[in-house]
Amino acid sequence: MSRGEVMNKCLRITLWIQKIPKGFLKDAVQKHANTLKIEGTVQSMEEGVIKIVACGKKDTIDAFLDLLHKETLKVAVEDMQIEPFLKEKDYRGVFRVIE
């Protein structure tokens, strides 16, 4: 592992939500990612689909998933798909909301 490479787990998470609450991406997803120092992106795709790419240390990614599960209990999540992901680009240590 090179000196600058500290990431050891990346996930692509897809959520299917009947109605995405206003502020959900920033208040529920980005806030927790920033607190845990996770980098990546969250984006609302077509109606009711949210795509999240999250990269960080294994324990912080696991903590992020736990928080995400708690947040999704508050909204009508129809399905959640979690898959390993190979980091394709440098997120520069930031978690962004793509609008």
CATH number at residue 50: 3.30.70.100
Q: Which amino acid is at 57?
A: K
Task: Point out which residues pair with 17 in neighbouring strands.
Answer: 77
Is 31 inside any structural domain?
Answer: yes
Is 2 inside any structural domain?
Answer: no
Number of structural domains the chain divides into: 1
Q: Is the pTM of this model over 0.95?
A: no
Is 1 inside any structural domain?
Answer: no
* CA–CA distance, 25 with 16 (Å, rounded to integer): 13
* CA–CA distance, 34 with 95 (Å, rounded to integer): 6
Domain encompassing residue 41: 9-98
Reading the chain (99 residues) residue by residue, the pLDDT tens digits are 444 554 489 999 999 998 888 899 999 899 999 999 999 999 999 888 999 999 999 999 999 999 999 998 888 889 999 999 887 778 888 999 998
Is 66 inside any structural domain?
Answer: yes
